C-alpha cells in the first residue's frame, strides 16, 4: 500500500499542504560560527531545543517558533564552553532560553525564502533575517512526512549584550562581533 503525501504545487515549487511540523532534534543541527584571533573559525552548536513550523494555507503566512536551551551550547572544548556560558557571554543561569518567532515571510525565489523574525537572547529581542531554503519533502519508512530545510543569518553579538573581548597586539580582537547562525533541519508533520 502506498501512502499519499500531503503536498501541493505552488509557484513552481512542491510544498507541504497546510499543517504543523515539529523539529526533529535527532536530525537537526542549530550551529554557530565565530572568528577567533580574526583568522580562524570556532564552531559550536546547541543540542537542546524545540520548535514548530506551521505551514499556512497561504504559504507566505507560514510561521516558525523555536526555543533553545542556552546551557546546551557546546564547542567541544570545556573551558571555552564554560566561558561562553558565563556572564561575559550567554549568562545561561540567568537566561536559560533564547527564542525565535516569525514576524513575516518577505519574499521567495525558487526554493529560497526570506524569513524575518524576532530573536531574543539574554532578554533582548532584535529582528533578524534568515535566508531559508526548502531542501525537500520526504516520507520516512515509518510513514512520517518530513520537511527538510536550511537557514542562515548573521548577528552582532554585542546587540545582545555580549560585549566581552580582548584586543590583540597585532590589531583586531580575540573574538569577532559577528556570529553566523547555521541551521540544518528536519521537521516531522504532526497533524495527519
Tens digit of each residue's pLDDT (9 = 90 or more) over 86-97: 999 999 999 999
Phi, psi of 59 (to 5 degrees): -50, -35
Please compute the mean of the pLDDT values over residues 128-151 and round it to a whole number.
Answer: 95
The domain in which residue 134 lies consists of 7-189
pLDDT band per the 50, 70, 90 thresholds, residue 41: confident
Q: How many domains does the chain have?
A: 1
For residue 156, is it within any domain?
yes
For residue 31, is it within any domain?
yes
CATH number of domain containing 131: 2.40.128.110
For residue 123, is it within any domain?
yes
For residue 61, is it within any domain?
yes
Please give the pLDDT value at position 108.
85
For residue 116, is it within any domain?
yes
For residue 29, is it within any domain?
yes
The pTM (predicted TM-score) of the whole model is: 0.91
Please give the pLDDT value at position 44.
94
Amino acid at each position: 500500500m502506498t501512502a499519499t503525501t500531503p503536498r501541493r504545487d505552488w509557484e513552481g515549487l512542491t510544498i507541504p499542504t497546510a499543517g504543523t511540523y515539529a523539529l526533529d532534534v535527532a536530525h537537526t543541527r542549530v550551529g554557530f560560527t565565530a572568528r577567533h584571533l580574526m583568522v580562524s573559525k570556532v564552531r559550536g552548536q546547541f543540542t537542546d531545543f524545540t520548535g514548530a513550523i506551521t505551514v499556512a494555507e497561504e504559504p507566505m503566512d507560514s510561521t516558525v517558533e523555536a526555543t533553545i536551551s542556552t546551557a546546551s551550547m557546546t564547542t567541544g572544548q570545556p573551558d571555552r564552553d564554560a566561558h561562553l556560558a558565563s556572564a561575559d557571554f550567554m549568562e545561561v543561569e540567568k537566561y536559560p532560553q533564547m527564542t525565535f518567532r516569525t514576524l513575516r515571510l518577505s519574499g521567495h525565489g525558487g526554493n529560497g525564502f526570506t524569513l524575518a523574525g524576532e530573536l531574543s537572547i539574554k532578554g533582548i529581542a532584535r529582528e533578524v533575517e534568515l535566508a531559508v531554503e526548502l531542501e525537500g519533502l520526504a516520507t520516512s519508512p515509518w510513514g512520517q512526512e518530513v520537511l527538510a530545510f536550511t537557514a542562515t543569518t548573521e548577528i552582532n553579538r554585542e546587540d545582545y549584550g555580549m560585549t566581552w573581548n580582548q584586543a590583540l597586539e597585532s590589531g583586531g580582537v580575540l573574538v569577532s562581533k559577528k556570529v553566523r547562525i547555521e541551521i540544518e533541519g528536519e521537521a516531522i508533520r504532526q497533524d495527519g
